[in-house]
Structures are given as structure tokens and as C-alpha cells.
Amino acid sequence: MPVFNTFFKILKKHAKSSMIYLIVFICVCIVFTKLGDGTSKEYQMSSCNIAVFDLDQSEASQRLIDYLSTIHTIKLDYEDDKESLQDRLYYREIAYVLYIEEGFAENNKLSNIKRQGTNISVYIDGQIQAYLNTFAAAKQAGYDDASAYELTLKALDSKGSVSLKGKESNRYGNPIYYFFQYESYVLLMIMASVLGPILVAFNKTETKNRLSISALSVRERNVQLFLGSVVTSIMIWGLFVVLCFILNKGVFGEKELLATINTFVFTIVAASLSSVLGNFGLESAAYAMMTNVVVLAMCFLGGVFVPMKFFGKTLKMVSRLFPTHWFILANDCIFKEGEMSDFVTYVGVELLFALAFFAIAMVVAKNAKARRYS
């Protein structure tokens, strides 16, 4: 199989250029994996140093100190010297000075020294006031001091779960979503930079003239080129499957399986598009320029780089003319819990694009052959 063997010799020469796209893609995926490793995050209030002077020495004042210590670092060993405390505030050694005055257990009397107009002082004032109001409400409900304090701590728990709600939560919370979204661009570029130049090389007039006088028939030549393209496409797609498995920490569930099927179909689209571009018989520089223009246009107008929710009505209509549009819709359908029937429809449209590109490639190749013999 001389054409098949030559196919992979040429592929080896162009492998380096495709590796650039792959390395950049891996770096981007790692960044998104670090930034968005789930739909839920733990929220923790900021901790500050607070100097406290307990002049009441009651159980009520101790409960307030205990509550503040669950959020902040409490300093009880400073001297009650206002000038010294002002200096500590100025140099940010402490953020707030709290005086629990005598009689606090009866009248909640407090005083403070703080940096005026700062967010942190408002932040701590709010926490103290929230504690006093919540504790008072629990007491009015009939709870004793110990029970009211426990209820107050639960109500003012400084940790909580923060998660995105609505249809966009799965999309933006799952970093593997971005892996598959941007894989469409990388697949197009890698397939174009690998398959395209090989087809350009085989479509050169000198190469075709040599093959025409060899014992190899045109049919055998085309079959071997097709097999080379199939093997290359499966290798590239398989590489992304392995990469997905690694970046997703070994998790490969139903969503990942459906997304992998979607990318397999899109790999066929990318291969068919590369065959169209490669059959134009352009020189290497012109081919590279046309490839960049076509792929970037597809990705920008198809919703890969810019979410389609920002598109106007006219641009959304134009976007339908590109296979990337349907790839993104299928990807969104998977990660936003869409209907399976919609997913099948979107993938089916991608296959239609692949068939259309293959048909165009055959027409282009036939016209090129007619021009050569005219």
C-alpha cells in the first residue's frame, strides 16, 4: 500500500504544527479545570484581629466573645490604652476594638474604636448587631440562654454552600463542558493542519502525473487515501478521549459518553472539511491562510468563542449555516440537561454537514481533474 505508507510519512512531517494547537488546548483545559471544579463552593467569611475588653465579665459577654471567635481572632491581652490601640488600628495590626461595657447582660451596651468609613468596620458592626438581634429573638420565643445561643450560632453559621441556579449552573460549574466546547476549534485546526497538507501534496500535478503512469489505479489510490484519513481521524479523536479521561480525574459518565459521541461526529465533519480545503490545489501558504480564515469564522459565528446568547436575531440565523453551531447546541443539550431527542437532532445535522462537505470535495476534485486534462 504505497499511498497509505506515504500518507503517514507526510503526516509525520506535519505533526509538529498540530502539536502546538494541542498543547495550547491542554493548557486552557487545565486552567478551566482549576477555576471551575464543581457547581458548589464553600463560602467562608473573612477573619480579622479584634481586640476585646470585657468589662461586664458575665455569661452574656462571654457568649458574644465566643461567637466572634468562631469568625475572627480575638485579642484579650492588650492594654486598655486608646493611643496605643489607635496605633495598632493605623498599622492594621488589629481591625476593630470592642468594649463590652458593664451591664451588657441587661442592656447590650457596647462601645468601640474603629477606622471610620472602612468596609471592615461596617462588616464587624453588622455581625455583632446580627448576633444581638438573633439572640434576642430566640429569647423572646421562650428559649433559655443556652438554647438561644445554640440557635443563634446555627442561624449565623459563617459557612454555607453557594451554588449557581438555573439552566446555566451545569454549564458553567462543570469544567469538562469547556473541554468539549473548545475541542471543536482544536479538532478543526488539527485536522486541517494534518489532513489538508497531505491532500494538497497528493493533488499536486507532478504527483498525480506520476501516479497516473504507475500500476496503481485511481480507485486504489483513493481507497488508500480514505483509509489513511480514517485511521488519522480515529487516532486524533482517541487522543482527545484519553485527554478527557485524564483531565476529568477518571470520571467518565453518561454526559462524557454523549459528549464523546458528539465529538466523534464532529471529527468526521472536520475531516470532510479538510478534504474540501485540500482539494482546491492551493500552495502551502495560501492553504494555511484559507484554513485560518475558514476555521476562525466558523468558531466565532458558530458560538464556540462567543456564547450564542449574545448574538442578535440575524447573527443567530447566520450561525445556523455552520456545523460548529450545531455542535455547541448538542454540547449545551448534554450539560444543561436538554432533551435526548434534541441531542440526536443536532448530531444528525452535523452528519448532514459532513456528507455535504464530502460531496463538495468530490465535485472540487472532479473539476480539478477536468481542468488538468482540458
Distance from chain centroid for Cα 229: 30
- Rounded CA-CA distance 78/120 in Å is 20
The pLDDT, as a whole number, for residue 102 is 92
Q: What is the mean pLDDT of the chain?
A: 81
> How many domains does one find in the chain?
2
Q: Do 363 and 280 share a structural domain?
A: yes
Dump pLDDT digits (tens) for 268-296: 999 888 888 877 767 777 888 888 899 89
What confidence tier does 164 reach under pLDDT thresholds 50, 70, 90? very low
pTM > 0.75? no
Q: Do 241 and 275 share a structural domain?
A: yes
Domain boundary among 163, 193, 226: 163
The pLDDT, as a whole number, for residue 346 is 94
Identify the top-confidence range among 11-25, 219-233, 330-344. 330-344
Q: Do 223 and 185 share a structural domain?
A: yes
Task: Look at residue 309 and tell me whether its pLDDT is greater than 60.
Answer: yes
DSSP 8-state code for residue 310: G
Mean pLDDT to the nearest integer, 67-78: 91
Task: Look at residue 325 and tell me whether its pLDDT is greater than 50.
Answer: yes
- Rounded CA-CA distance 3/222 in Å is 9
DSSP string, 137-206: HHHHTT--HHHHHHHHHHHT-SEEEEE--STHHHHHH-HHHHHHHHHHHHHHHHHHHHHHHHHHHHTSHH
Among candidate residues 315, 289, 290, 313, the one with its CA nearest the CA of residue 300: 315
Mean pLDDT to the nearest integer, 320-339: 88
Q: Do 368 and 288 share a structural domain?
A: yes
Task: Look at residue 169 and tell me whether its pLDDT is greater than 50.
Answer: no
Segments forming the whole domain that contains residue 301: 2-39+168-373
The pLDDT, as a whole number, for residue 64 is 93
How many other CB atoms sit within 10 Å of the CB of residue 251? 11
* ∠ Cα 118 79 63 (to 5°): 70
Q: Percent of the chain at pLDDT above 90?
A: 26
Task: Look at residue 370 and tell me whether its pLDDT is greater than 70.
Answer: no
Task: Look at residue 37 and tell me whether its pLDDT is greater than 50.
Answer: no
Choose between 309 and 353: higher pLDDT. Answer: 353
What confidence tier does 187 reach under pLDDT thresholds 50, 70, 90? confident
Q: Percent of the chain at pLDDT above 70?
A: 80
Tell how many helices (H) and how many strands (E) occur in the chain.
15, 6
- Rounded CA-CA distance 368/13 in Å is 26
Q: Do 257 and 208 share a structural domain?
A: yes
Q: Do 183 and 292 share a structural domain?
A: yes
Q: Do 107 and 51 share a structural domain?
A: yes
The pLDDT, as a whole number, for residue 45 is 57
Choose between 39 and 325: higher pLDDT. Answer: 325
Dump pLDDT digits (tens) for 218-266: 667 767 777 888 888 898 889 888 888 887 777 788 888 999 999 999 9
Dump pLDDT digits (tens) for 108-158: 999 999 887 778 888 899 999 999 999 999 889 889 999 989 999 888 875
Task: Look at residue 349 and tell me whether its pLDDT is greater than 90.
Answer: yes
Task: Look at residue 161 and tell me whether its pLDDT is greater than 50.
Answer: no
Provide the CATH number for the domain around residue 52.
3.40.190
Domain boundary among 130, 163, 196: 163
The pLDDT, as a whole number, for residue 327 is 94
Domain boundary among 163, 198, 215: 163
Q: Do 64 and 174 share a structural domain?
A: no
Choose between 68 and 310: higher pLDDT. Answer: 68
